[in-house]
Structure formats: C-alpha cells, structure tokens
Structure 1
Amino acid sequence: MATSAKILSALLQRTSINDHEEVLKACNASLKQSKGDLELQHIKVVALLKLDRYHDALRVLEEGGDRLKQRVSVERAYALYKVGDFEEAKGIAKGISDERGARHVEAQASYRSEDFANAATIYKNLAGSQATVEKEENDLRINSGATDAQLEWTRRGDLVQKKKLEREDLEAFETAYNAACCSVARGELGQGEVLLNRARDLCNALDEITDQEKITELLPISVQQLYVVSKLGKNEEAEKLALDIALEEIPDPSTRQIAQNNKLALSSSSLNPYLSHRLFHSTERLPKTDNLFRLQAERMQQNSLALDLLASKSNGVIRNTSNILSNSTSTLSPHINNISVLNAAAHAQSQLAKLGLKQILPLLEKRPKDIGLIMTIIQLYVLTNNHGCAITILGSFLKRLSESEAPSDQDVLYAPGLVALQVSLYTSQGRKSQIKTTLAKAASYWRHKSKPPTSLLRAAGLSLLDSSDPEHQSIARDIFATLHTQDPSSKSATAGYVASHALTSPEKVSSEADTLTPVARLIAGIDVAALEEAGVPYSPSTDTIAASRKRAMDEKPKPAKKRMRKSRLPKDYDPSKTPDPERWLPLKDRSTYRPKGRKGRQKAAEKTQGGVSGEKGAEAKAGGGDGVIKAAEKKPGGGQAKGKKKGKK
C-alpha cells in the first residue's frame, strides 16, 4: 500500500488537474493508506489553498507537524495572511530567504498590518529585480501605488519615491485610482477628482471583464469620488452620486461601511439625528480579514461619538472618551486630541461662549497638558473676542511643557501647529517682538532635528530677516543655509539664502543670486504710473489696529439719542430750540420763578431752607451764643395781654 501511495504521489506531481476538488479527493484517498507522506500532504495543502479553504489548510499543517511546516513555509505564511493573522504571516515570510513568493507574502502582510514602510521597501526591491512570473510587473505597480497612498494618508509622504504622475499610471484603472488616492491624501482634491474620473473611464472601457465585475470595481471609485466632491463643496453633484451608490451591491464589508458613513455625513444636516444614529450603527461587524485601517477606524469612532452628542447621549460620550483619555498624556495625535474635544463638548452640553467655558474650565485642573482641551478653551475665548485670556491660557500651558523633562513634551512645545497658534494670537494683539522670539526659539529647536518641519523654518526665517537683533539675523542665515542645502532647486530657499547673506557676505551668494529671476522680468508687465494714478489702498498695520483698539477702550461711549414719538410732543414743539431742563418741575420750584407782591415775596423768604426767617430769626440771633432758641414766655391769667388800659368812667 505504501508503494501505491508513492506511485500516486509521483503521478500527481507529473499531472495537471484543473479541478482542485478531484486533486483533494485523490490526496485524501492516498493519505488513508500513508498518513505520513509529505508529498501528499503538501499537495493537499496547495489544493485547499486553491479552493480558498485557508482554515482547513492550517489545520492540515498543524496535524503534519514541524516537518510539513518547514517544507511548505510559504504556503503556511500565505494561509495565515488570508485568515487575518498578519503579524505571524509577516514573521514567517520574513524568515524565508531567497524566495520571491515569500517576499510578496511579506509585503502584503506588512501592508495589512500597517507596516507601510516595510511594504514599500519590499516592492521597490522586487521591482528592481527581474520578474519571474507573467504580469508580475503590473501587480507590483498596482501594489506599490496602494502602499504610497497609505504612506501619504499616515503623514509619511517623505518615504514615497514617486511624487509625479507618469504615463503608465494612466494606462490602467487600478493605477489611476491609486494615483488619485495619493493626490487626495496630499490635499490635492482637484487633481484627485480628475484622476478618479480617469479611473472610471478606463474601467468602463475594459472588455476583459463582465458588466457585473465592472459594477463591483466601480463602486469603490464612486465611494472615493463622493468623499472628494463633498470636500470640494459640490453638494449637488455629491447628492446625485450618493443616490447612485447601492450599498447592498458592495461586496467588501469595510467599503460598504465607509460608503454608509459618507452618505450619512452628506445628509446629516437634513436627516433626523436619531435616525442617523440608528443607521450608522446598523452596519454589520467587520470580519478579521477585512478590518478597517487604523486611520479609518479612528474616523469612524469620532463620527460615532459625534452622532451620540447629536442624539443627546452626553453622559455616554463623557464615559467613553474619559476611558480613552485616561491612559494618554500630552500628545500630538490628531485622534486623541479630537477625542478630547468631543469630551469637552459633552461636558459643555455643546454650549458655546461663557456658558461653555464655565463647564470646561474646571477640566483643566484634571488634565493640564491636554492639547485638545486647551485648543477648545482658546477657541471659545476667541469666539467671545477675548484674545487676552486666550493668550494667558496658552502661555500657562506652554510654561508647563517647558518645565517638563519628558522629550515628547518638548516636541509638543515646539509643534508647528502650536507655534502657528501663538503667532496668530500675538498678531491679533500687535505683539511683533513676541512673534519673532517665538519663531526664533522654535527654529533653534528644530534645526538640530533630523527631519525639521520645512514650513516652520521658512516662516521663521522670513520673520527674522527684518529683525534688528543680530542674534535673530544669525538664526535667519542658518535657517536659509540649511533649507538651501536640503533643496537647492527651491526658489524660496535660494532667495532667503541670498537675502540673509546680502549685507554680511555678498560674495558668498553671488552665484546663487544669478540663478534668481531678475527684478526687471518680474515687474515687466507692471505699469507703475497707472498704479500711482489709481491710488494705493491703505492697509493699517497691527500697531495702528492695537492703538485704535486701546483708544476706543479709553473713550467713553456716547449715549444713544432717544427717538420721541410725535404723539407725545406738544403742539408748539420746535426741534431747533433746546427744551427747558426744569420743565418737569412745578412752577414754584423752578429757578426762574419770581413771586409777585409783598406777601408772595415774604412767603417765599419764609420757605428758605437751612435757616429761619422773620422776627423769630432775629430773636434767635440775639439770644446768645449757645444757639438755643428760647420759648416765648406766657403771661399769667391765661389770656393775652391788652395793649392799653381802659379809663375810669
């Protein structure tokens, strides 16, 4: 029986059977007679892989032991990759040397485990060596383009070798689609839209695939187009495109979930938030082999929390976001900072201005280094036109970072985004000296790093060029010297390099100055006389704006004039005459009142305030210096004394 099994094994090696089910049946029949035959087990594993029965293939490998695993290590790595064990598949394939198939498996497993840098390196090496399989070159171009797109999305575009489009990128719809994704990831939405339309046209023009296969291939392109046109603000075109996307026809669960999300985001302004919440969470759970990439999963989580806020589930958002933030420190991760913003919005019940600040400010004591929280508070202060408090909050946060000994906190302290925020706030207050100091510190920090942010260094150099401080001018020279060395073809870097050395060492930059466009050519089409005749618009400087704001604060606001209704005005009212301010007082209480007659004048004199009048006043004045007014003496008899005695009759 063992001899017949060996004969069958040899026969199977020499024959080519297109029906893999028949191969599998033959192997199973022979393995009943000879269970330990490695040849038969190898053939069975390959047959199972051809039939997409990857879990069964792994089970056979486990039953076959280490000898079988060692013999079919490439097939084992591929089976692990297909069932979603990407890290293990990458490790096994990496250990196989001098095997082109193993490199392909390693690259695909690296791509799915989001090790895009390793995948790009492998595809580059494979493309540089001679291909051994038909159409391998086309597959390498497609997979390499997809890897470049992922590098752009994850902000590692410096590792992308090909930045410009080539003719071969526009020959197949797959390569055109990957080129479009690269453009969209870089923020070049217009070019991305053009390339997506190109990919659609190329797919429709194919004759090798059926109409149903075309629909399957076009759906991911449509989903990406929906994202691009909505970002470009073409709402009508986006709504029409969303209607053409049939979710039930998308075969990949992950693509179907993204399409559902994009359609909900497009209609979120008109759709009931509770209905949107239900539709968002109605999608099925993704399998392990088709999980979203980390960047996509983070966006989905943020959208889910935002829908929870719209559905008045603030307590749940606070609980979920607090769990995520509990293990995080000061970080530049966009996802963590967005989660922090959602946490602040949940605490504030989505209220703005002073009401929102009242609920959010106490959180700063618990999370003093939370960038998302700091940004939210600053934004609310700016919305209330309180730039002073915004600068104070940002200054306290930066001080805490500067006093920290953690290296990561220093990267946060001089992060380009935070530096730009400082410059923006200082500009609103007209603080030019603080702008230059901030940019000088940031530039001095990043110049000693291996990958400094070019945009930050360029902005710092331009700001420090017109500074009167010799130290700032020295920093500007060093900055532009570094930028010019890194990219000699950059016109802006060359111009800055020439300008920074023009006064101190012009002979050093004479050759670089000759490469710049002459001034005469730059102003060749400008009519100076016409410009002077038309007039130059005046743009007030930041100092003027700050001075006018201070003067406006010092000046007391003038009371607004009240408008009187005609029905309440007198008939003889004359608007040209100033009305009497004492018109509301009684006539006898006005300052212009003059009593008539002796009795009237005497009565008015008796009403004098602060003293006494008449005979009683004179009597009180003559009554001594003690100021006591004596009571009038009464004569005995109870009656009044008569002035004259009657004569005797």
Structure 2
Amino acid sequence: MAATLASLLGQASMTDHEQVLSACEATLSQSKNDVQAQQVKIVALLNLDRFQDAVATVEAGGEEIKRTARLEYAYALYKNGQAAKAAEVARQDGSESDRGLRHVEAQASYRHQDFERASELYRNLSAQRGAVNNEDMDLRINMGATYAQLEWAGRVSADAPQKPAREDMEAFETAYNAACQSIARDELGQAEVLLRRAKELCEASEMEQEEKDAEIVPISIQQLYVLIRQGRLEDAQALAATIDSKNVHAFHDSSTQFIAQTNTAASSTESSNPYLTHRTLYKTPSTILPDRPFTYQSAAIQRNNYTLDLLAHKYDGIIRSTANLAATPTLDSATNSFSAFGAAAHTRNQAGKEALKTVLPVLERRPNDIGLLLVCMQLYIHSSNPAAAISLLENFFTRLSSSSEPSAQDVRYAPGLIGVLVSLYTSRGQTSHARSELAKAARYWRQHSNPPISTRALGHLYKSAGASLLNSSVPADQQLAADLFTFMHEKDASDRYAAAGLVAALARANPSAITEEKLSALTPLDRLISGIDVSALENAGVAKSTPTPTSTSTKRAAPDSAPKPKTKKLKKSKTPKDFDPTKKMDPERWLPIKDRSSYRPKGKKGKAKQAMFMQGGAVAEDSGAGSGASTPAPAAQLVEGKSNAAKNKNKKKKGGKW
C-alpha cells in the first residue's frame, strides 16, 4: 500500500494539491485506516485552505492519526479559529525540541490572547538558531507583535525593549510592530516616524505590487489612527483619501475592513447625520469574523457603539445595558468606561449641576460603580467644588477598607484611583494627606505577590511615592523611600530616576550604604552643567559668591538703565476737574485729617489733647490725694469726665451764688 501511494504521489505535481487529494481519496477508498494516506490528505487540505475539512478528517480518523498528524491537526485548529484547542493539542505530550509544534503553540497562544505564554515560547525558540531559512526573521517579527500586545494589555514583561532598536528599521514588519509598541505607550510622535519608515521599506521591497498594496493597507490604517489621536484631522482626511477601499476588501478580513471604515469616519471634520452614521458603523464585536478583535479592540468598538447611541438619542438602551455592569468594584478599565456612558445616558447628554442632580441618586443605588463615581467627581470639580469630590472618593475608600474581600483591597489601592485622590489633595495644598495615601498604597503593593495591575502603573506609583516620602522627616517614611528605590533599581538598573532616588534616599536613611557603583549610575555633574554659562547668569543679576570690597552686600545693584515701573493711568471719569497728573498725590489722602502725619492742632486745648493721645507722651500728675503718679485712664472715660465737668460749670453759672 505504501508503494502504491508513493507511485500515485510520484505522478502528481508537487504544487497540484487537488491531484494529491484525489490520489489519497483513491487509496483511502480501498483502505480507510491507512494512516499515511490520511496524513497526506490532511496536508493537501491545508494547502488548499480547507481547514474545516482538515479538522474533520483528523477527528474522524481516530486517536492514531491525531498522534501521527498532531502538528497538522493543531495548525488546522488554529486556522479554523479554535486557538485555545490548537494550543492545547500542540502542548500535549510534545517535546520541547519539536520546533514545529512550538511555533504552532506560540501562534495559537497569541491568537488566544495568552501573550505571556507566546512570549516565553518565542524567547525559547530565538535562543536557538533557526532550522529553516528566514526563521530567525519570522521569530523577530512575531516577538515584536507579542511585545506590542503585552503593552496594550498592560502586562509588559521586564525584557521588553523600551525603545526601537536599529534592527527594527531593517524590515517593514519589524518597524510596524515597533510602531504598535510606541502607540501602546502613547508615544505617538515616535509611532508616526516608525510607520512612515515601515511604508518606505514596504515600497522598496522586492515583493509584487499586489502584495505591497496588501501590506500597506494596515500601515495606513494605523497611521490614520495616530493622526486622529494627535488631533490632526485635516492630515488624517488627506491620508484616508489615499486608502483604496478595493485593496481593503480584496486582501483583508472583515476585522481590518471594519477598523478601516471606523478610522475613516472618525477622521471626517464634516457634520454628518448621526442616524446614518449609526446605521453604517454600528456592529457588535462578536460578529466581526473570522478573526475576532482582541479584547482592547472590542472595548473600543463597544465605546464607539455607545457614542453612536448617544448621538442617536438611544438613552434607554444604554441605561439597560450598563445597569448591571459594576455590582462589585472592579479594576477592569473597559467596564468602568462603559459606566461613564451609562451616566451620560441618565443625564440625557446634559452637563454641570443639572447633570449632577441626575447622577448622584444613581450613584446612591450603585455605590460600587467606579465609573459612575469618577463621573460625579468630575462634575463636582467642574462646578468648582473639589472638596465634595474628595469626600466622595474618601467615603468610597472607607467602605472598601472595611470589606473582607481581597479584590476590594486591590481596588482600594488601585494606582489610578490613588493618583486621582493625590492630585486633588495636592491642588488644595494637603501634601501630608497625599504623602500618606502614596505610602499606604506602596506598602500594600510591595506585599502583594501577584499584582493584577500593569507593571508600568506600579512603577509610576512607586516613583511618586518615593519622591514624596523623601520630603518627609519621619524615619519610617525615609526607610520606605529607600526600599522602594532599591526595589526599582534592582529591577531595572538602567532607570536613572530610580538610581537618583536611591542615592537621595540612602543619603538620609543610611549614608554608609552609598557605594561608588550606585554613584556611577548617576549623570556626571560636568555633563549636567556643561550647557550653563556662568558669566551670563551673573550678568543677568545672580548674586555673586563673594562680596565686593566696596560693599558688604552680596547682591548686585540694579543697573542704572533698568526700566522704571509703568504708572497706572487714571481714567478721566474718576479724576477731579483741577487734577494735575504731574504733582505727586498725598499717600495719606484716604485717612481722616486728624490721623494724617501733617495734622497740626490749633490752640492749647488741641495741642494738649494731641499730646495726651500720643503713645509715650507725658502724663500730668494727679492733683488729688493719694499716690504721686496717676494711672492713665481709657479714652472713653476721659471724654466722659470732660463732658460732666462742662455740665457742672454751666450749672454754677446758671444757679447764681454759692
């Protein structure tokens, strides 16, 4: 039978897979359990892109063909859209030395969004020399795509490159993947440069023009996204006009077609009918086949759908779909962003205090909805009431702190929420409160063995906490700052911020621990001051380090040619008719005449009265009996005594003889 099969295959062309398939069918019609004929048939079906038939053939052939054609079976499952099962089949009883199975498992893990496993597999494959031509280049391309997905998922690994390498500029695929990593890090300017480079390399390649057109489409779509994010809508419109819709539909799946259509619509600056736009673009992510969008793409599509619903005034539908999103506090950014659309639907697109009156009762019914909470805080801030926003978040944290669920504590110390509260504290000058929150969050995550948040977010939290704790005079805070910067420096020795923070923290907490190695990680002082012109600074008025012989002051006198301050010109309507602007106005003109320094009373009584009210003035001796020096009386008492004396005097004159 093997000889017959070999004879049949020898009569067929190596590229004519239909003839190979017919030969296998003829052989299997006589012996349906022929494993070799079954395997050749499966390979022929794969070459004909009949992946579903290949899967059915393997599953109908029994366990023996599954073991023999395990590579073909895993690949057929992967191409048929069953990525999870494909990865499982490739991993079962597989030798780590089987590069074919490892490649299929890595691709299936990538499609299944198990990016950590895909990254691990590609690293292991890259550690050995490729077995076939261009395998090393394919591994580099796939590794770059995996790093980009890890960036978007917020789970970037420590070995991921932080900036494009020179090798990334050698092929359009690697340049494109490096651009995707930059987009995930919000480095849009760098992403634009890399995408232009990718397009240039693609145009200069030796591919057929048809293949070039197919490869340029996703590059242009990504460029369109970057321009929209930068707010350059006119440039985006010009680029959208160059994207050939025929190439999009001819060479790419429905996912790419839909993304191209969405980005083109988003770049438009012309007002359009929202109902027609809703009809054209509204699509559920699960219906975009065969390659369904990744999770972050599906979330973006759903946000676009909610935006279209708001434009079309479909408020009730949004309220129903978002009503049960956050029964418990969650760190899922997609869920929390959907809650914001629910709040907008409740307010009927209103803003300000009117929106706040509508949303606060909803928050009382759903106190664990983080998205709704942040919307209320934002409305309070826009209403110039940051204290109420702080109170909302503090009360929410208090409820989470009393909860016994571990997930609630993860939300309590989420870097994003901590950042919001710290920002509000800082804006109100409550630095001690901000430092306390950062310290508590840093201590919590340092004790957490497997944080459910991105390493990038944790890094920002640790740096902010360390910098804030450096300003504290409490020894425990200084020690925590040293621990945080030590942890960050050990994790990434090339991080200059962590190196500088470590030296600054140890200088206060433990100066003896500062070594030459730690100091060498800092930027040299000569390099820091190399661009500073000391003479120019001194000429500009900077205080000299030593006093001049003719003066005891270390400050430079202002030059004679210094411009005089401009006098404020008075309005004509506020000046009297005889006003002379050349004369200097009396600075005491607003005081009563008696309180002015130029006031001089007339007569003996007036002078005596002024002397009596002068601080430190002479006091007349008491003419009555008793002690020699009298005690000055309060002014009210003196006036009252004078008034009584005047009355008695008048009575004497009026009464006649005594």
Normalising TM by the smaller chain, what interval? Answer: 0.7 to 0.9
Letter in 1 for 2:262: N
1:102 is paired with a residue of what secondary structure?
helix
Q: Secondary structure at the match of 1:289?
A: coil
Alpha-carbon distance in structure 2 between the residues aligned to 1:515 and 1:41: 63
Post-superposition Cα deviations, 1:303-328, rounded to whole Å, max 9, x if no partner, equal 101110111000011111224x06x5
CA-CA distance at 1:154 after TM superposition: 0.8
Counterpart residue number, 1:626? none
Match of 1:582 in 2: none
User: What is the aligned length?
Assistant: 528
What is residue 3 of structure 2 aligned with on the other side?
7
Q: Which amino acid aligns with 1:100?
A: R
- The equivalent residue for 1:321 is 322
The residue aligned with 2:20 is 23
Deviates more, 1:180-189 or 1:268-277: 268-277
CA distance in 2, matches of 1:30, 1:457: 67
Q: 1:529 to 1:347 in 2, by over 3 A?
A: same
CA shift, 1:224, in A, is: 0.2
What is the CA-CA distance between 1:12 and the residue it aligns to? 4.2
* 2:538 corresponds to 1:529: yes
- Asked whether the equivalents of residues 254 and 286 of structure 1 are also in contact (C-alpha less than 8 Å), the reply is no
Between 1:80-89 and 1:471-480, the stretch displaced more is 471-480
Post-superposition Cα deviations, 1:82-126, rounded to whole Å, max 9, x if no partner, equal 111111111111113242211111111111111111111111111
SS in 2 for 1:361: helix
Q: Is the 8 A contact 1:464 1:476 kept in 2?
A: yes
Match of 1:487 in 2: 492
1:443 aligned residue: 442
Aligned mate of 1:222, from 220, 223, 238: 220
AA of the residue aligned to 2:60: E
CA contact (8 A) 2:439 2:465 kept: yes
CA contact (8 A) 2:78 2:86 kept: yes
Per-residue CA deviation, residues 579-612 of structure 1 (Å, 9 max, x unaligned), is xxxxxxxxxxxxxxxxxxxxxxxxxxxxxxxxxx
For 1:227-376, what aligned pairs fall within 5 Å after superposition? 227-250=225-248, 251-267=252-268, 270-281=271-282, 286=287, 288-323=289-324, 325=325, 328-376=327-375
Mark the CA change 1:286 to 1:493 in structure 2 (over 3 Å): closer, same or farther. Answer: same
CA 1:106–1:490: 2 relative to 1, 3 Å: closer
Distance in 1 separating the partners of 2:243 and 2:221: 8
Of stretches 493-502 and 134-143 in structure 1, the one that deviates more from structure 2 is 493-502
Q: How does 1:188-227 map to 2 (within 5 A)?
A: 188-209=187-208, 211-227=209-225
1:521 Cα deviation after fit: 5.6
Change (3 A) 1:43 1:161: same
**Deviation by residue 1:446-487 (Cα, 9 ceiling, x = unmatched):** 233356722222222222222233333333333333333333
Per-residue deviation at 1:67? Answer: 2.1
Corresponding position: 1:73 with 2:73 = no
Instruction: Specify the alignment match of 2:423 in structure 1.
Output: 424
Offset at 1:27? 1.9
**What's the CA shift string for 1:427-463, capped at 9, x where partnerless?**
2222222122222222222233356722222222222
CA gap of 1:38–1:334, structure 2 versus 1, over 3 A, is same
Q: Distance in 2 between matches of 1:66 and 1:481?
A: 55
RMSD (Å) for aligned C-alpha atoms: 2.4
- Cα distance in 2 between the residues matched to 1:459 and 1:154: 23
Shift of 1:420: 1.4
* Alignment correspondent of 1:36: 33
Q: Retained in 2: the 8 A contact 1:257–1:283?
A: no
Which amino acid letter does the alignment assign opposite residue 236 of structure 1?
A: E
Give the aligned partner of residue 46 of structure 2: 49
Is residue 51–residue 80 contact of structure 2 (8 Å, CA) maintained in 1? Answer: yes
Pairing 1:64–2:67 present: no
Q: CA deviation at 1:401?
A: 0.9
Q: Which runs of 5+ in 1 are unaligned?
A: 535-562, 564-649
Q: Structure 1: which amino acid aligns with 2:21?
A: L
Residue in 2 that maps onto 1:509: 514
- 1:17 maps to amino acid: S
| Alignment-mate amino acid for residue 74 of structure 1 | L
Q: Which amino acid aligns with 2:59?
A: E
Indicate the residue corresponding to 1:641 in structure 2.
none
Report the counterpart of residue 476 of structure 2 in structure 1: 471
1:496 aligns with 2:495: no
Q: CA deviation at 1:531?
A: 4.7
After superposition, what is the alpha-carbon deviation per residue over 1:25-69, rounded to whole angstroms, capped at 9, x for unaligned?
Answer: 222223222222222222211111111111222222233222222
Q: Is residue 149–residue 182 contact of structure 1 (8 Å, CA) maintained in 2?
A: yes
Q: What code does the residue aligned with 1:157 have?
A: V
Q: Are the structure 2 counterparts of residues 43 and 119 from structure 1 closer, same or farther at C-alpha, using a change threshold of 3 Å?
A: same
- Give runs of ≥4 in structure 1 deviating > 6 Å: 282-285
Query: Which residue does 2:90 correspond to in 1?
Result: 93
- Which deviates more from structure 2 when the two are superposed, residues 248-257 or residues 371-380? 248-257
Aligned 8 A contact 1:423 1:435 in 2: yes
The whole-number CA distance in structure 2 between the counterparts of 1:72 and 1:403 is 56
Matched to 1:273, the amino acid is P
Partner-residue secondary structure (3-state), 1:449? coil
Q: CA deviation at 1:374?
A: 0.8
Q: Does 1:182 align with 2:181?
A: yes
**1:62 & 1:518 partners in 2: Cα distance?**
67
Aligned to 2:640: none
Residue 111 (structure 1) aligned with residue 110 (structure 2) = yes
Partner of 1:168: 167
CA distance in 2, matches of 1:284, 1:509: 55
Cα displacement string for residues 152-177 of structure 1 (whole angstroms, at most 9, x for unaligned residues): 11111225533343333222211111
Q: Given the superposition, is the C-alpha separation of residues 283 and 492 from structure 1 closer, same or farther in structure 2, using an over 3 Å criterion?
A: closer
Residue of structure 2 equivalent to 1:578? none
The alpha carbon displacement at 1:277 in A equals 0.9
User: 1:58, 1:76 within 8 Å by CA — same for their partners in 2?
Assistant: yes
Distance 1:417 1:285 in 2: 30
Query: Aligned letter for 1:397?
Result: F
Residues 151 and 160, structure 1, Cα contact 8 Å, conserved in 2: no
Aligned CA distance change for structure 1 residues 487 and 34 (closer, same or farther; 3 Å): closer
* Structure 2 letter corresponding to 1:171: E
Q: Distance in 2 between matches of 1:334 and 1:123?
A: 29
Task: Please say which of residues 433-442 and 264-273 is displaced more in the overlay.
Answer: 264-273
Counterpart of 1:76, as a letter, is Y
The answer to whether the 8 A contact 2:24-2:37 is kept is: yes
- Structure 1 stretch displaced more, 455-464 or 188-197: 455-464
Check the 8 A contact 1:318/1:343 in 2, yes or no: yes
Q: Classify 1:54/1:331 alpha carbon distance in 2 versus 1 (closer, same or farther; 3 Å).
A: same
Query: For 1:258 and 1:141, how far apart are their aligned partners in 2?
Result: 26
Question: Are residue 459 (structure 1) and residue 457 (structure 2) matched?
Answer: no
Question: Following the alignment from structure 2 to structure 1, what is the Cα–Cα distance between the partners of residues 460 and 424?
Answer: 19
- Greater gyration radius: 1
Are the aligned partners of 2:28 and 2:34 in contact in 1 as well (CA < 8 Å)?
Answer: yes
Change (3 A) 1:464 1:31: closer
Q: 1:204 to 1:102 in 2, by over 3 A?
A: same
Gaps of 5+ in 2: 544-572, 574-658
Greater displacement, 37-46 / 300-309: 37-46
* Cα deviation code 1:227-253 (max 9, x no counterpart): 111212222211101112233421221
Bigger mean CA offset, 121-130 vs 282-291? 282-291
